Amino acid sequence: MKATQLLHNLGQSIWLDNITRDLLDSGILKRYIEELSVTGLTSNPTIFDHAIKNGGAYDAAIRDKLGRAKSAETLFFELALDDIARAAALFRPVHDQTDRVDGWVSLEVSPLLAHDTSKTLTAAKDLYTRAVQPNVFIKIPGTKEGLPAIEEAIFAGIPINVTLLFSREQYLAAANAFLRGIERRIDAGLKPAVGSVASLFISRWDVAVMGKVPDSLRDQLGIAVAKRTYRAYRTLLDSPRWQRAFNAGARPQRLLWASTGTKDPKASDILYVKALAAPFTVNTMPDATLKALADHGEIGAILPADGGDCEEVLAQVGKAGIDIDALATQLQDEGAKSFVQSWNDLMAVITAKSAALKRAAAQ
């Protein structure tokens, strides 16, 4: 049995951190679903950037939409929503079979709105309406400005993937924003079953401290932060506040492991997957990590609900001179800036591709 199936049987959802038109047209995504136990996916601007820049899969669609799209951003969302809708249709059977627990696909609002609560909420509502399919998450960053938008979006009934979380504290802030939205729906007599995941980024921790900690702690920080956050997640699920909401018909916000592709060439290609095997969580991984997992015959031990040795590891990292809280803030800030840079790169690629196709059509 493939390790992907073993992980699925354990109760962890495997999502693909990728979506392109080639992936859809070639049938590869369908094969991942059928053969590698993939039950959802996430997308980001960098993925679309590379796909549009390095191939011709989107050329015909761009030519068709050029006359109607008023900007590169408008054109992008039309292209992306086409892909998201097709992917959502492929995952719809999983979504229905699991009664809306799984089978989700994610599309993010423009990262240029990351510090504007009102515009983020407006964009989230617009994208979810245009996506049509019910199994679409709208990604909103769990920044200080994003948290009110997350609460309002949940209250409005919009399924949300909270992204750019790096620590237990950032996760708890996002979880509380989700729960406030749910509690407001309950108080208003609305159905409280609004889907959500909270995405904790893992590998960027280890990249940030590479060469700054002893070899004994190499590639251990991201896992330790994840374990600490998992303990907080399990504690929240058991809390009277959450259980009151669940008793009223709410669905738990699942914890999602993001950025789980191994960046260290000296480490296992499934380092973070094997270390973070846990039921009722999601692991979203790039194609290479997914295929590597499928080639392995086993998975790791189940993540301990109490966080295992996380505090010991974090204490050792602290002794090495790393301020965990400050680094978490830095990573979130850098992540937001990186998303903006990727977005700007994507807009430039779409503008250049559009101009090239116009010139070719005029010849």
* Nearest in space to 282 (alpha carbons), one of 19, 104, 150: 104
Q: Compute the distance between CA of residue 196 and CA of residue 179 in angstroms, rounded to an integer.
A: 10
The β-bridge partners of 136 are: 105
Q: Compute the distance between CA of residue 257 and CA of residue 235 in angstroms, rounded to an integer.
A: 18
Torsion of CA 192, 134, 347, 162, to 10 degrees: 30
Catalytic residues: 139
Kindly provide the b/e burial profile for residues 293-331, where b requires at least 16 CB atoms within 10 angstroms of the residue's own CB: bbebeebbeebeeebbebeebbebbeeeebebeebbeeb
Residue with tokens 């503008």: 351
Q: Compute the distance between CA of residue 277 and CA of residue 309 in angstroms, rounded to an integer.
A: 15
Neighbours of 16 (CB within 10 A): 25
Token output for 194: 């609004």
Token output for 238: 């058991």
44 in helix, strand or coil? coil
